[in-house]
Amino acid sequence: MKNTTLTVNEYTLDTNVKVAPKDAALSLAHIYVAFIAFIIGALMGLLQGLVRGGLIELPSWLGYYQILTVHGVLLALVFTTYFIFAFLFAGVSRTLGGMSNGIRRVGWIGFWITTIGTLLAAWLILLGKASVLYTFYAPLQAHPFYYIALTLFIVGTWIAGAAILAHYFCWKKTNKEQKTPLFGYMATATIILWIIACLGVAATVLFQMIPWAFGLTDKINVLLSRTLFWYFGHPLVYFWLLPAYMAWYVCIPKIIGGKLFSDSLARLAFVLFLLFSIPVGFHHQLMEAGVSEFWKFVQTILTFTVIVPSLMTAFSIFGTFEQTARAKGGSGVLSWLGKLPWNDVRFFAPFMGMVIFIPAGTGGVINASHQMNAVIHNTLWVVGHFHLTVGSTVILTFFGTSYWLIPHLTGRKFTPFLNRLGMLQTWLWTIGMFFMSGSMHLMGILGAPRRTAYTTYQNHATALAWFDGMFTNYVTVAIGAAILTIAAGLMFYNFIYMTWLAPKGETAFPISEPASDTSTTPKILENWKLWIGIAALLILFAYTIPVYNMIVHAPPGSPGFNYLIN
């Protein structure tokens, strides 16, 4: 019976523990959906790049905003969410022991509900009835069932999240007084963050959009729905980032042959993310009317606070690298860098993600800077920004994770051939992103808008310059997109290879042994009631008064505009 819960001792000693086979099947189901969504989404990205560059025209039955919706929904929502749940399910099974049959069944129920939602949404987007982009801002109105699809998607993830939380609490029960292994701790924090964040989008979809789209109410409070969306939208990006950080904190140290630098700081960083990533949604609404300067500035300050745990992470991760390299005999101020496994894609892909997080995070600080947001708001800069954050840092980490996670789950070997393909894939992705995202950032400063089909604005000089620059050119974006598509195709092949073609065998699920300071980690860091309570207080502080004003001083509501998206 492999399905027993591990105690901390076993966890520390036995680093060859595997994901229980039945849990592996659940995790793999998520991986399949993730990569199918990934390849379709990536191809849509190529089409967008080519259309905007004026290089191709779409056939009449395919709309630019339709493929833009497909691209955003499949990559930002579907790929990320499914990969994250695959990683979390596998990781908690690996570190807290196999899941009980009941809990696993809850996980499967979550998977199927999320998948039904995904398929329904995909169907409506294909029909052209939901070209509202992945932000679905009211009062543009999609087909009513699109909002049902979104609800199913979110509810499914809640159920899957509940399975992970239940597994964690079961472990706690049988391991009283034990410190939760770092992976389980971080998975719990991530799921709690996700559930609190989704309350906002659930509120606007259930109480505003569904009654309005089905005709039960004829008007909608636009500003309130945008605010509820961004209450969700910013922690959403941390829901993408935290699993990548988990791989950095928990898996990478093992891959490079060392151990994490500090346990308590890692946990503290996650607590800070839980507290400060939610009451910050106004920094996406800095340029809109109806929210006062004061409350915008309050949330700007809170946004700057959530930068701190990332500053801590930069030190922790690099510190882990340096300590490991020195323990292996590395010396000098920087020459120890040579001791890191540069030729191992399981390290190299996430490492490139970390490097890219430097400009990505810096761009984020700029975006959140109150009135300065006017320089880049809704320009291509923003698109460049999130292609660096989620589209490079997070995704390269997920790719790097795939190279051991998928073969581990399918009972196959991580081969030197696969490693070479992975290294090539990582370079192609990085180079493609340099061209695409780099030019997008600069063109954004020159005013090129995001989310806009091919246009020269009646040959206006300002717009023509976007087709004319050496580097700041829509064609550079298209070239980058083409390189990225080759990289995406290669990654899809790697997925196929790892799932069905690689030689049978075993691949380790790398989990770092606990850091040397683990015994001194304060217990309070695992007091979830306390952290959820403080998070709730911060949310109430940041949102109560402005949301009250939005409701009490609301303008007459907006009817739905569904004819504008056809």
Q: Of the residues 83, 146, 238, 282, which is catalytic? A: 238
Specify the residue, 88 or 340, whose C-beta has the smaller distance to another protein: 340
| Range in contact with another protein (rule: CB under 8 A) among 116-124, 142-150, 152-160, 516-524 | 516-524
Does the annotation count 386 as an active-site position?
A: yes
Closest listed residue to residue 453, CA positions, set 51, 112, 55, 90: 51
Computed from CA positions of residues 80, 86, 91, 93, in that sequence, does the dihedral angle turn out positive or negative?
A: positive
Minimal distance, residue 368 CB to another protein, in Å: 10
Closest CB to another protein among residues 297, 427 = 297
- Binding span for another protein by CB under 8 A among 13-21, 190-198, 201-209, 282-290: 282-290
Any contact of residue 140 with another protein (CB under 8 A)? yes
Q: Which stretch binds another protein (CB under 8 A): 38-46, 487-495, 512-520, 532-540?
A: 512-520
Count of CB atoms situated within 10 Å of the CB of 417: 12
Cβ contacts of 187 within 8 Å, gap of 6 or more: 88, 91, 92, 164, 168, 246
Number of residues near another protein (by CB under 8 A):
97
SS3 of residue 489 by DSSP = helix
238 is catalytic: yes
Among 49, 139, 279, 391, binds another protein (CB under 8 A): 139
Tell me the C-alpha distance between 34 and 79, whole Å: 4
String of DSSP letters for 400-449: HHHHHHHHHHHTB---HHHHHHHHHHHHHHHHHHHHHHHHHHHHHHTTPB
Q: Report yes or no: 530 and 32 within 8 Å, Cβ to Cβ.
A: no
- Of the CA atoms within 13 Å of residue 147, those in its CB half-sphere come to 22
Positions 379 through 398 that interact with another protein (CB under 8 A): 379
Comparing CB distances to another protein, the nearer of 29 and 274 is 274
Q: Is 58 a binder of another protein (CB under 8 A)?
A: no
Q: Give the residue with the Cβ less far from another protein, 524 or 536.
A: 524
Q: Is 217 in the site for another protein (CB under 8 A)?
A: no
- The rounded distance, in Å, linking the Cα atoms of 524 and 536 is 17
CA distance 218 to 222: 12
Q: Which is nearer to another protein, 99 or 150 (CB)?
A: 150
Asked if residue 70 binds another protein (CB under 8 A), the reply is no
Q: Whose structure tokens read 């840092």?
A: 393
Identify the residue whose tokens are 């907006």: 558
Reduced to 3 states, what is the DSSP secondary structure of residue 97?
Answer: coil
Cis status, amide bond into 139, omega within 30 of 0: yes
List the interface residues with another protein, window 292-321 (CB under 8 A).
Answer: 292-293, 296-297, 300-301, 304, 307-308, 311-312, 314-315, 318-319, 321
Decide: is 218 part of the binding site for another protein (CB under 8 A): no
By CB under 8 A, tell whether 499 contacts another protein: no
Q: Please indicate whether residue 451 is annotated as part of the active site.
A: yes
Q: Is position 387 annotated as part of the catalytic site?
A: yes
Name which of 159, 172, 189, 161 is nearest 97 in CA terms.
172
Q: Which of 326, 370, 377, 451 is catalytic?
A: 451
| Interaction of residue 55 with another protein, rule CB under 8 A | no
234 is catalytic: yes
x/- contact string, 159-198, with another protein (CB under 8 A)? ----------------------------------------
Instruction: Find the helix packing angle between 182-203 and 222-246, rounded to 10°.
Output: 170
Catalytic-residue membership of 460: no
Binding mask 535-564 for another protein (x = CB under 8 A): ------------------xxxxxxx-x--x
Which sequence positions are flagged as catalytic? 234, 238, 385-387, 450-451
